Chains A and B, each alone.
Chain A
């Protein structure tokens, strides 16, 4: 009896929090509402081996739930398509196709962005610990890998945005190199 009462109280308090503040489920459902679309991106890579950062620009197209196309225009044209667990890269008229089913850690890495776009919390939590701060108009989601194989590549991913729109994705790699991706929607809704 006491136990049931206690459980009830906990549930009630959780429900109150959910309504009171901006929370993970809210963000995820908001992201999941996103119909996809085209966006411009600027990617800045800071590598220890290089004296100054590399900057790439281009366009991204996301088609829910599992197709992401990243078309780099500068410094060199390249197209990467992530469709289900197939990654294909086209560069210099050459086409490479890799099935990520065989490389679970690579899939988790690539999937972080797609699952964030799709608002798929369950999929994200399989490989990462999630931490959310900020409010609906200005949130920051931090993904820390739990899987050893991913942690060997990646320290954390920080995603920021407002409402259902992601603004930046920041990858901090295990070796200290980092990659910052800024996104700006091309067709404001």
Chain B
């Protein structure tokens, strides 16, 4: 080994050790930030915060199935008691009468701080007269029976006002005193975990605890045929992590063992096999290091992409071993390295284009693959030769050489059929171009259709509406955010009165800002004054002022009551309602006001322009979440089209600059373009749901497939295609197809889509390059 070779080796070893240290300290993540925009708009940021840290991301929906109504209700109560006692849960609701009564008592106790109707005017003689006569009218109605017990304490009807707000959002049904599904077949609970939605470990622990407590409770009651169903963002995160972890191991194992088998069959030498995997291992390591250093967090899906990288990165050592075993190192460097280098550069163009994507997952896949491929090529070129020495002997059986040449001659008779097929594919794609790509972010989700259906059913049963339309206000602290929510509420009230929207929720409903509470408290008159006004107001009323001593006492107590804070709500259902609408972020607090559609003819839509106009100038942000998600995916897709085109152009420019011949350029590109068309048309015909990653796959077919096309181009450049070259190409293509093909087995849509596109695409690129190669092939 020469000193310079030794130096190279030492450098490589140091780099590997440093890389291993970086990987050891890397943060790996499987959460949804893979899909969330890197550079969000203000509206998108609201969604991102909600998904990552919002109280909604900490909610788990539970359903108890089986047995009879009484058994389910009993188990629901038992489970609630057990979970409520655990510090891992902030709030556990099952709609039982005790907590409903507690909520009602809370509203009753604090009604003069909470009710929006409490103003100085309300307690004037005229105001009292109007409010009390309204309550008496209400007594005459069927709903009045509910009010009757409170009449002497609350003659102005503040409780009715507050309960109206509470019940405005539909409540879940209930059977035997606890929440149940609409069909009465399942008892329901709603649990808020202490762990954040983005804390997958915490969510996993909480879910395990729930299952454990359910098993213990049902076991003790002897109700083992009752089943627990669970859904929520936390479960999705836990399941998705398990899926990705499992797949990373499984895919890498499949891909690696298949590739090792192929390599061993070709090399017949454990030494060459180990040496050949060296650039791959270096590349995979370097990829993770680059991502970790650039992004801080490595996504599980990125690591999963490693199985494809293995197949691609191993190509370079295959070329080197197979081609140089006859030629020797120096000759190989002169004759083949430029072609391989060009191939590496086209791959870099392909993966590099992804770096500019605003879709963080895609950008990370690009960085990982680019670094991996580049490192593998450099290690093959500079580290492998000194390590391998000159004793490289790869057997080239004459039998295989003959078969390869015969195969080549054979496929070249297929030119016209291939052109015909490609024309058919282009025609098909042209006809289908509007329905080719699915315009929905959910196609990328790892949530299974079954889990999504369960989630939707529980959501419907719990009457948790899809908060499609949100008004968002912000403030430096909670008080400011609550005040902003109240101001926005004042803008929305006329829309509710006019029937433009059905209603809205606000955190300020159950936790008004301190300012508002203080104003309401200040509008309450002294006992003597109230007594005097009541006498005057109730002269002609069927309700005599003498019966209202409890009212006067309550108002007096309210005047001396301290203002309400978040801690007063404890772990009640009201606290849940407030927490889910208040969000503490890095830059202060935001309050969310979900809007309900008016229903009727408008259906589930809200006249966006009218709401925007009402909120204009208030600083409140109106977000249509569904619209935002659709727009987000639309942006990703649009950007992917743009980046893929740019990547393609970069490859074309690179090839043109190197080959310096439009004819040769056309010779290289034709098979690639046909391969892309055939694969996409084939996938669409086979019923594959085409999405963003298939689109990216098209670019990768060109980037990866060009490696093979370039070898055939050497014939056009005057070189002959010997057995060693043909065999190295066949083996390299095989490993690439194995690598990407393995991804096609994945249940993670992102990986599956790339695999199912690039796997067959790479194979077709090789075959079609052979079909269209120059005929001057020596036999």
Contact = CB atoms under 8 A, between A and B. Distances in A.
Interface string A28-55: 0000000000000001010101111111
A50 B148 CA distance: 11
A6 interface: no
A97 B171 CA distance: 9
A72 B141 contact: yes
Contact of A56 (B140, B499, B542): B140
A78 interface: yes
B330 interface: no
B151 interface: yes
Contacts of A99: 173, 182
Contact of A51 (B134, B164, B543): B543
Interface residues of B, number: 27
28 contacts: A45-B139, A47-B148, A49-B151, A49-B543, A50-B136, A50-B543, A51-B543, A51-B544, A54-B136, A54-B139, A54-B140, A70-B142, A75-B140, A76-B141, A80-B141, A80-B142, A91-B141, A91-B143, A93-B497, A93-B499, A94-B164, A96-B164, A97-B170, A101-B173, A102-B173, A103-B174, A110-B142, A177-B148
B137 A76 contact: yes
Interface string B162-188: 001001001001110000101010000
Contacts of B140: 43, 45, 54-56, 72, 75-76
Contacts of B151: 49
Interface string B121-162: 000000000000010111111110000100110000000000
Nearest to B143: A89
A56 B141 contact: yes
A96 to B, nearest CB: 6
Interface string A128-159: 00000000000000000000000000000000
Nearest to A85: B173
A74 to B, nearest CB: 9
Contacts of A94: 164
A139 B85 CA distance: 59
A75 B137 contact: yes
B716 to A, nearest CB: 77
A180 B97 CA distance: 31
A102 B96 CA distance: 11
Contact of A102 (B141, B152, B174): B174
Name, among B140, B143, B173, B547, the residue most crowded by chain A CB atoms within 10 Å (CB to CB).
Answer: B140
A49 B547 contact: yes
Nearest to A43: B140
A55 B136 CA distance: 11
Contact of A96 (B136, B167, B182): B167
Nearest to A70: B142
Contacts of A72: 140-141
B129 to A, nearest CB: 14
A46 to B, nearest CB: 10
Contacts of A75: 137, 140
Contacts of A54: 136, 139-140, 542
B290 to A, nearest CB: 57
Contacts of A47: 139, 148
A102 to B, nearest CB: 4
A94 B168 CA distance: 9
A56 B140 CA distance: 7
A45 B151 CA distance: 15
A49 B175 contact: no
Given A56-B140, A76-B138, 14 more contacts: A45-B139, A47-B139, A49-B547, A51-B543, A51-B544, A55-B140, A72-B141, A76-B134, A76-B137, A89-B141, A89-B142, A93-B499, A101-B184, A102-B175
A49 B142 CA distance: 17
B152 A49 contact: yes
- Name the residue in B134, B136, B547 with the highest tally of chain A Cβ atoms < 10 Å from its Cβ: B136
